[in-house]
């Protein structure tokens, strides 16, 4: 993931298979572009499982941007991004859903 980010951006492991990507000075559109870049770079990658079989990777991403959302605290912002993540998962997985931007990237 880090290879898809600017030098000022960073990734934090948030839970088992969840990460937070922080993009200082990036708007919603930038967030969507970066999320799609991460998604497409990881999609289809193989993770070895045993000697002969592997697992194909897919990724669902949810995002929210401050101050573009109505988030008053960091917890509110994380909650909004988490809601977008679950919306992506419910929508068929392997997609990026950003607050205030539809699944196809249109505002």
Among 9, 17, 70, 99, the one annotated catalytic: 17
C-alpha–C-alpha distance, residues 11 and 14, integer Å:
9
Which residues, 6+ apart, have CB-to-CB distance to 62 below 8 Å? Answer: 81, 82, 83, 84, 85, 86, 87, 88, 96, 97, 98
Asked about 17 being catalytic, the answer comes back as yes
Q: Which residues are catalytic?
A: 17
């Amino acid at each position: 993931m880090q290879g898809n980010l600017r030098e000022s951006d960073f990734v934090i492991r948030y839970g088992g298979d969840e990460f937070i990507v922080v993009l200082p000075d990036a708007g919603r559109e930038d967030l969507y572009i970066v999320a799609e870049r991460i998604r497409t770079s990881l999609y289809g990658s193989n993770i070895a499982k045993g000697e002969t079989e592997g697992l194909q990777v897919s990724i669902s991403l949810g995002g929210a941007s401050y101050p573009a959302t109505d988030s008053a605290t960091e917890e509110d912002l994380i909650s909004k991004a988490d809601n977008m993540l679950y919306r992506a998962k419910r929508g068929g997985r392997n997609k990026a859903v950003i607050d205030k931007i539809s699944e196809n990237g249109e505002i």
